[in-house]
């Protein structure tokens, strides 16, 4: 049996891949299934804690679609989705901190510039006027 899946069942134009929830997050499986929609329809089943499976159904199966290639494409998308999730968790705090600093900097810069180009009467200085 394939180590990345508990089972892979092919029946007609349908492929059901049963996955280990301890290896893959339901969110990553859903993202990978979504990315497969150009090649087939996809349904994610299970609660993501005790069970997790995806059903890929070939849209117009005229015998030309290699189901093994479809399964391989799904696992490639699943790996990509898992890596994106890992990176989001890993760098999410850094991204959030950088955004907060940028927003604070913009707010501080905007407040610091208020009234700089005006004299005491509220008029624009001569050097600021456009001729």
Query: So what's the pLDDT on residue 117?
Result: 55
26-61 pLDDT, tens per residue?
999 999 999 999 889 999 999 989 999 999 998 876
Q: What is the band of 128 on the pLDDT scale with cuts at 50, 70, 90?
A: low
9 compared with 120, residue with greater pLDDT: 9
Q: For residue 52, how many other CB atoms are within 10 A of its CB?
A: 22
Which structural domains are found in the chain, ordered by start? 7-113 (3.30.70)
pLDDT score of 116 more than 90: no
Rounded distance between C-alpha atoms, residue 86 and residue 97, angstroms: 18
Mean pLDDT of the chain: 83
Query: So what's the pLDDT on residue 1?
Result: 42
Q: What are 23's two structure tokens?
A: 């290896």
What values do phi and psi take at 52, rounded to 5? -160, 120
Query: So what's the pLDDT on residue 114?
Result: 54
Average pLDDT in the 105-117 region?
68
Rounded distance between C-alpha atoms, residue 34 and residue 84, angstroms: 15
Query: So what's the pLDDT on residue 59?
Result: 81
């Amino acid at each position: 049996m394939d180590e990345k899946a508990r089972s892979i069942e092919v029946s007609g134009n349908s492929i059901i891949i049963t996955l280990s929830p301890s290896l893959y997050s339901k969110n990553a499986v859903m993202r990978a299934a979504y990315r497969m929609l150009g090649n087939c329809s996809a349904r994610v089943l299970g609660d993501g804690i005790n069970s997790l499976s995806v059903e890929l159904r070939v849209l117009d199966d005229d015998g030309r679609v290699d189901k093994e290639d479809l399964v391989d494409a799904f696992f490639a998308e699943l790996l990509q989705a898992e890596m994106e999730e890992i990176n989001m968790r890993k760098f999410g705090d850094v991204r959030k901190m950088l955004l907060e600093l940028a927003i604070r900097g913009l707010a501080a810069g905007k407040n610091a510039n208020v009234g700089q180009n005006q004299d005491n009467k509220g008029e624009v200085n001569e050097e600021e006027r456009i001729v």
